[in-house]
Structure 1
Amino acid sequence: VLKESSLTTKLRVVFDASCPSTSGISFNDLQMTGPTIQSDLFSILIRYRQHNYVIAADVEKMYRMCKINETQRTLQRILWRNNKTDEIGTYELQTVTYGTKSAAFLAIRCLFQLGIECEAEFPEVARAIKEDF
């Protein structure tokens, strides 16, 4: 997307996983959503009030911290060239992409895994990660 009036980012790449290809099928049509593994929102908000310290974050940026398994990266392949005379370059996204059908599940599952991995050393942190996100 080109936005000349922007002071910070005049040109940025936007991924529309719901846009159908020439076959009429979109990337999101091919993906599974994944189960809901976090608590319901009401329960999370009630527990939120019990903590002395809380964390707020930009969810869109969180997805960029979650790596995709190498065997799945070909599904996020991008063909790109800067102008019509350049050769087409091939790139594979290595992280979860915001706006894809599976993004929410993958990001929450990543957080849950972090909770599992730090449980022995930081049990309270692990509990907060697994129950309050």
Structure 2
Amino acid sequence: MWIKILWDPPTPSTYFIPHHCVLKPESVTTKLCVVFDASQKAANGFCLNDTLLLGPKLHQDVSCVLSRFRLHSVCFTADIRQMFRQVLVAREHQDFQRILWPFPSEPIKEFRLRTLVFGIRSSPFLAMRCIRQLDKEHSYEFPEACAVLQDDIFVDDIVSGSDSFSGAIQLQTQLTEVLSRAGLELQRCLTI
């Protein structure tokens, strides 16, 4: 989500994130992708990524996730639809996520990005922290799904399974329910 900024002038701590688009006409879901560069140095010699803490590593090692995946009789893969775009950034931190956007035959407009942005070093930690919170809040009601959120996920990709087809479908249903409670959507479920 973007908010147009007309009333809120930049302050000395405002950061404008350089960005450009990448066109992918062959893509079914995302024909235009915006790439953000929070590593671009500002006038003071620092970039946004220089000033942010990375946060502790919350995601599992990908080789461990893939090794566990191979142990299931019935496997499935899925991803969390636009995960970064579903996580709101605190209002007081949104000024560090401003962009200038050119519209054809209109003046350039300023926007404040309200959600996590790819290209900012803290975004993966913050997204995974939200998943950990979901796990914590729903582990009693959906223990199997929350175990998947803890062990069988790498950023926004889920690779898991069960000993039976019905078990895999039930697990997908539980994951869909847990994620929907936070406004997240499971997509591209493929059962093998």
TM-score bracket relative to the smaller structure: 0.7 to 0.9
| CA-atom RMSD in angstroms | 2.9
Instruction: Say whether 1:44 aligns with 2:65.
Output: yes
1: CA distance between counterparts of 2:23 and 2:51? Answer: 34
Q: Which runs of 5+ in 1 are unaligned?
A: none
Instruction: Say whether 1:129 aligns with 2:149.
Output: yes
Q: TM-score, normalised by structure 1?
A: 0.77
Identity of aligned residues (%): 33
Shift of 1:71: 2.5
- Greater RCO between the two (CA within 8 Å, min separation 6)? 2
Task: List structure 1 runs of 4+ shifted beyond 4 angstroms.
Answer: 2-9
Q: 1:62 aligns with which of 69, 83, 90?
A: 83
Aligned pair in 2 of structure 1 residues 120, 58: CA closer, same or farther (>3 Å)?
A: closer
* 1:65-117 residue CA offsets vs partner (Å, 9 max, x unmatched): 2221223222212244537973x643221111011111211121121112122
SS at match of 2:110: strand
What is the count of residue pairs matched by the alignment?
Answer: 130
1: CA distance between counterparts of 2:24 and 2:71? Answer: 43
> Is the 2:24–2:33 Cα contact (8 Å) retained in structure 1?
no
Within-5 A mapping of 1:1-133? 1=20, 6=25, 9=31, 13-51=34-72, 52-57=74-79, 61-82=82-103, 86=107, 89-133=109-153
Shift of 1:53: 3.3
> Is the 2:99–2:112 Cα contact (8 Å) retained in structure 1?
yes
Q: Which runs of 5+ in 2 are unaligned?
A: 1-19, 154-192
**Residue type matched to 2:144 in 1?**
E
SS at match of 2:36: coil
* Structure number with higher strand proportion: 2
Q: TM-score, normalised by structure 2?
A: 0.56
